[in-house]
Amino acid sequence: MSKMSRRAALGHLGRMASAVALVEAGLLKSAFAAQQPFNWASTGGSWGEQLEKSFIDGPGFPARTKLELVHTAQLETVSVSKIIANRGNPPYDVSNNGPAEAVMLQEAGCIVDYDPALVPNLKDIPPQAKVGNYFGGFTIMSLGLAWNTKEAKKPAGFKDLWRPEYKGRVAIPAYGWYGDYWLHSLNKLLGGDEDNIEPGLKAVAELMKTNDAIIVENAGHGMKLLEQGEVVIMPYWNGRVVALQEQGVPVAFEYVAGTLAVGQGFVIIKGTPYEKEACMLVNNTLDPEAQLTFARYSKYPPSNRRAVLPPDLEKVRIPDGALEKAAVLDYSKIAKHRAAYLERWNKEVLSS
């Protein structure tokens, strides 16, 4: 080997050693790290499939980014716990969550703002479906009252869950599956607030004791209960009720006082090597046409103001004035009390 070749080889080895040292020091991303898959987290089942069809495969996200994609399916609360537990070493690149989880993750320093240049669709999302510049909902989900039109009366409000004729055939959401937020919505109707959960807990404990309420573990469980007629009234989602109606199930949905209205969107996890690509995915979710595609699958209304509902999707439209009945919750305070209120829920509600 010539002196020049030997010198070049030694220089190359030296540069590699320096790069490795920088990687180990956390100052330079390894070239191998850039090859890791793009991991997106959401609940599984039909929801995850619909997200993939509407916002990933439909807009050609894999081809545009040349990335290998991995879907991690789990409940939103599980993804939040894992993100916080692995702060600084993100287990996912983006995660599908509601606004409450987004606030919790933002306050924990686990997510980053969207790049407005890469997420121009955010400007067309109404305030009810976004939080700051780090969360934009692609749909507006409403947890009001679902009821069986053959075996129950049109409800006036959540108080109808306590009607004695519905004993054994009412249900409420599990605490870990939107039950905590529904509890806060009910609590505010009863005069409480995020720092005083007493009225809500007392009422739900009474409901469990006197009306033998069933605990709904997830959306699929709720669908089965209504479809099989085991439950005739319960807090449930507007889009799921539309899906049941299309199957011929005799159910209807009511926007009552305290209805929980939440956006569903993707947050970008701090530390991802794919911030640009993550913003591209978020922008896909906020695109009006992609949202209409998702609405056809999910039966939930799009959040983008520019989305024009065609005749076949009129049934998912939120009636005028319905969102004015929605509960106004302080998600920061809810997050602060979540663990303590869960303990009380377990003791006072589930043991009733």
**Residue pLDDT tens, the chain, 352 long:** 444 444 444 444 444 344 444 444 444 444 444 479 999 999 898 889 999 999 999 999 999 999 999 999 988 889 999 999 999 899 999 999 999 899 999 999 999 999 999 999 999 998 878 899 999 999 999 999 999 999 999 999 999 999 999 999 999 999 988 999 999 999 999 999 999 999 999 999 999 999 999 999 998 999 999 999 999 999 999 999 999 999 999 999 999 999 998 889 999 999 999 999 999 999 999 999 999 999 998 899 999 999 999 999 999 999 988 888 989 899 889 988 989 999 999 999 998 6
Confidence (pLDDT) at 6: 45
Task: Give one word for 256, left, alpha or beta, with left for phi > 0 and alpha for psi -120 to 50.
Answer: beta
10 burial (CB, 10 Å; 0-12 / 13-18 / 19+) is exposed
Please, are residues 258 and 155 in contact by the beta-carbon 8 Å criterion?
no
Confidence (pLDDT) at 45: 87
- Closest C-alpha to 239, from 42, 96, 47: 47
d(CA 237, CA 291): 18
Confidence (pLDDT) at 129: 87
Confidence (pLDDT) at 8: 42
d(CA 87, CA 224): 37
Q: Which residues contact 223 (CB under 8 A, 6 or more apart)?
A: 240, 243, 244
C-alpha distances out from residue 274 to 66, 103, 122, 225, Å: 12, 21, 19, 41
d(CA 55, CA 255): 28
Q: How many CB atoms lie within 10 A of CB 262?
A: 25
Place of tokens 């009225």: 199
* Identity at 85, one-letter amino acid code: A
Q: According to DSSP H, which parts of the chain are helical?
A: 3-24, 45-51, 61-65, 76-85, 99-107, 180-189, 198-211, 219-227, 238-246, 275-285, 288-298, 331-344
Place of tokens 């692609």: 138
pTM: 0.77
Residue 136 pairs in a beta bridge with 130
Structure tokens at 323: 């969102």
For the chain, domains (ranges, CATH) are: 33-140+262-322 (3.40.190.10), 143-260+324-349 (3.40.190.10)
C-alpha distances out from residue 233 to 14, 129, 159, Å: 71, 27, 11
Confidence (pLDDT) at 231: 98
Structure tokens at 125: 């999302």
Confidence (pLDDT) at 76: 84
- What's the full length of the chain, in residues? 352
